[in-house]
Each structure stands twice: as C-alpha cells, then as structure tokens.
C-alpha cells in the first residue's frame, strides 16, 4: 500500500507539473516567471541529489542557476518562449543524467544495480557489472539527447527541433528500454523476468530511508 501511494503521489505530481507548464505557456506565455516555474523543480531535484551525494560543487552550480533565473524574473526579463522550451527539454535530460551518474561515484552502487538487487534479491558479479554498464549507458543516452537538442535548436528549423522533442524523444526512450531488455536476457539469461510494477516497487524501496538503513546494517553499499 505504501509503494502504491508513493507511485500515485509521484504520478499526480507529474501531472500537476505538466498542467502547470501548459497553463503558463498558454494563459501567461509572456510572464517573466515562466522560466522559474518550469525549471526550478528540476534544478532543485539536481541540487538535492548532488547534495545528498556530497557533490557540493554541482549543488552550488544548480543553486546559482536558479538564483540567476529568479533575479532575471524579478527584473521583469523573461526568457523567450522557444528558449524556455529548449531549457525544459535539456534540463530534464541533464537531471536524469545526474541522477544516474551520481550513483556511479566511487564507493556507491550504480542505480540500475541497486534496483536490480532489490528486484532479484541478489546479483552475481557478472550481473552487477552488466547493470553498472547499463547505468553508464543511460547517462550517455541522456547527455547525448541533451546535446542533440541543443544542436538541432541551433542549426535546424524550430519545427524540426519540436518534432525531435515531442515525438522522437519518447520513441527513443522506448527503443532504449526495449533494446536493453532484449540484450539483457540474451547476455544474461540468469536475470529473472519481472514485471514493471516490481521494478517501480523496488525503486521506491531503494529510495526510502528504511531501505537505506537496512542497506547500511546489512553491509551493502549505500547509493
């Protein structure tokens, strides 16, 4: 029940963010506070993840960017709408790259490895190495998508960038998931087949304080 509640709350928060983004872009497209409203949640997520991982420099950069956005908005200088769309797309991917990348620091367990351990109960050395490589692959994927977004925005027509952001991005995520799924069971058939709900539940347990405490006492590396 607790996991279900966390999933529902996360979904509702995501829907609220999407609704707020849409409302700002349609009802108040010229507001100087649009950039703050759209980018602040993602920047704060990066700051919190970096601070928890003791990456103080990354956290301070995130706070500095947020401060610049607030100062700019306070002076009545809004970000042009197209630049705002670009910023939202790029920051989402960089935030996800940070989430996966921080777990790769020395002395930590990679994000995919940690989730896989919660799902399967244990990992063989080969499974642990593979899941760490998958975490690295996702970091590279998110960084590549952010770089492609900037390149298309700069050198291609805006319609081409919009098609990339709105249509090709979700397709690329599905292809990444599907390709990794097929590769996983081809290279490591010992991975037990699981349902997506089990993965979500494992991630929720992984990020809970109780899980972190249990991991510490059991000798597992805390991510």
Residues 116 and 169: beta-carbon distance below 8 Å:
no
Contact 220, 206 (CB under 8 A): no
pLDDT tens digit string along 14-68? 677 767 766 765 666 667 777 777 778 878 877 887 787 677 787 888 889 888 8
Residue 29's pLDDT is 63
pLDDT > 70 in the chain, percent: 74
Handedness of CA 176, 182, 185, 191 (dihedral sign): positive
More confident residue, 7 or 111: 111
Instruction: Quickly tell me which residue has 């290279």 as its tokens.
Output: 187
Q: What is the mean pLDDT of the chain?
A: 76
Mean pLDDT of 93-110: 86
Q: Can you spell out the DSSP letters for 185-223?
A: HHH-TTSPP--HHHHHHHHHHHHSHHHHHHHHHHTPPP-
């Amino acid at each position: 029940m607790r996991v279900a509640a966390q999933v529902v709350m996360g979904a509702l928060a995501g829907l609220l963010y999407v609704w707020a983004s849409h409302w700002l872009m349609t009802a108040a497209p010229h507001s100087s506070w649009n950039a703050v409203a759209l980018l602040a949640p993602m920047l704060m997520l990066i700051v919190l993840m970096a601070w928890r991982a003791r990456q103080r420099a990354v956290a301070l950069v995130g706070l500095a960017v947020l401060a610049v956005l607030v100062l700019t908005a306070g002076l009545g200088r809004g970000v042009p709408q197209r630049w705002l769309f670009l910023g939202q797309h790029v920051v989402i991917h960089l935030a996800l790259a940070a989430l996966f990348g921080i777990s790769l620091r020395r002395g930590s367990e990679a994000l995919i490895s940690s989730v896989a351990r919660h799902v399967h109960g244990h990992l063989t050395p080969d499974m642990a190495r593979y899941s760490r490589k998958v975490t690295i692959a996702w970091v590279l994927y998110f960084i590549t998508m952010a770089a492609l977004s900037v390149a298309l925005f700069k050198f291609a027509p805006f319609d081409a960038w919009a098609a990339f952001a709105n249509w090709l991005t979700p397709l690329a995520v599905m292809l990444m998931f599907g390709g990794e799924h097929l590769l996983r069971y081809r290279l490591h058939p010992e991975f037990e087949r699981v349902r997506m709900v089990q993965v979500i539940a494992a991630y929720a347990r992984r990020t809970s304080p109780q899980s972190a405490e249990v991991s510490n006492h059991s000798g597992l590396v805390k991510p």
